[in-house]
Chains A and B, each alone.
Chain A
Amino acid sequence: NAGVMQNPRHLVRRRGQEARLRCSPMKGHSHVYWYRQLPEEGLKFMVYLQKENIIDESGMPKERFSAEFPKEGPSILRIQQVVRGDSAAYFCASQGQGGTEAFFGQGTRLTVV
């Protein structure tokens, strides 16, 4: 849905660099999910955030990955010291209060070279 904005759309990083992926949810939405998708695979849950809170990060690797959703500004998924295995499409989805449908952004395609 055009209302959820992810940037950049494509990101190339060398091994060892940091990747920052941004997600601006739809107006009025206070819940954000991040998912990772490898080519021809499903959506793997990473983290679920509300404003200023991490609700569930059970899908996040313990090291190098972090996520935040500050009171002001977009949600950020940060990957430190990227490796080739981090290459994937990262989608965020936002959701309104009360468990309504999730609206996905167009994703960030991360390529680690």
Chain B
Amino acid sequence: GQQVMQIPQYQHVQEGEDFTTYCNSSTTLSNIQWYKQRPGGHPVFLIQLVKSGEVKKQKRLTFQFGEAKKNSSLHITATQTTDVGTYFCAGLNDYKLSFGAGTTVTVRA
């Protein structure tokens, strides 16, 4: 079955630095979605990418969907303490949404 893998599992970032988290699927995806879960909270939808090679930005967050529609990345610039949480990618294939294991981000002030 479809597998979605994310790396790294943990990301410890100095406040103000940039980082990237990567997502890879074993199969071609209809679309890829990104979610954020704050500590103690529930996952909240951030964005959806549909087109091959698509790039979308939300303030300091840049999301990219690979040309083959099998991988994606989330890049955060100038990390802030509000960025703390776990970021999940989720691949949609045959109407099944499969989540990666997430990248848990901690920020050093």
Write the nearest CB–CB distance from B65 to chain A, whole angstroms.
15
Chain A interface extent, by class: 20 to 34
A31 within 8 A of B: yes
B27 within 8 A of A: no
Please indicate the chain B residues that have their CB under 8 angstroms from the CB of A103 in the complex. 45
Q: CB-nearest residue of chain B relative to A99?
A: B92
CB contact list, B41-93 vs A, under 8 A: 41-45, 48, 86, 88, 90, 92
B88 with A42: CB separation less than 8 A: yes
CB contact list, A47-98 vs B, under 8 A: 48, 55-56, 58, 91, 93, 95
Q: CA–CA, A99 to B29, complex, Å?
A: 11
Set B31, B42, B92, B98: member contacting A104, Cβ < 8 A: B42
CB contact list, A25-46 vs B, under 8 A: 31, 33, 35, 40-43, 45
A42 with B95: CB separation less than 8 A: no
| SS of B interface (majority) | strand
Q: CB-nearest residue of chain B relative to A6?
A: B42
Set A35, A55, A58, A106: member contacting B1, Cβ < 8 A: A58
Q: CB-nearest residue of chain B relative to A105?
A: B42
Q: CA–CA, A106 to B31, complex, Å?
A: 24
B30 with A99: CB separation less than 8 A: yes
A1 within 8 A of B: yes
Q: CA–CA, A19 to B99, complex, Å?
A: 25
Please indicate the chain B residues that have their CB under 8 angstroms from the CB of A95 in the complex. 97
B33 within 8 A of A: yes
Write the nearest CB–CB distance from B91 to chain A, whole angstroms.
11
Interfacial residues, chain A to chain B (CB-CB below 8 A): 1, 31, 33, 35, 40-43, 45, 48, 55-56, 58, 91, 93, 95, 99-107
Interfacial residues, chain B to chain A (CB-CB below 8 A): 1, 30-31, 33, 35, 41-45, 48, 86, 88, 90, 92, 95-102, 104
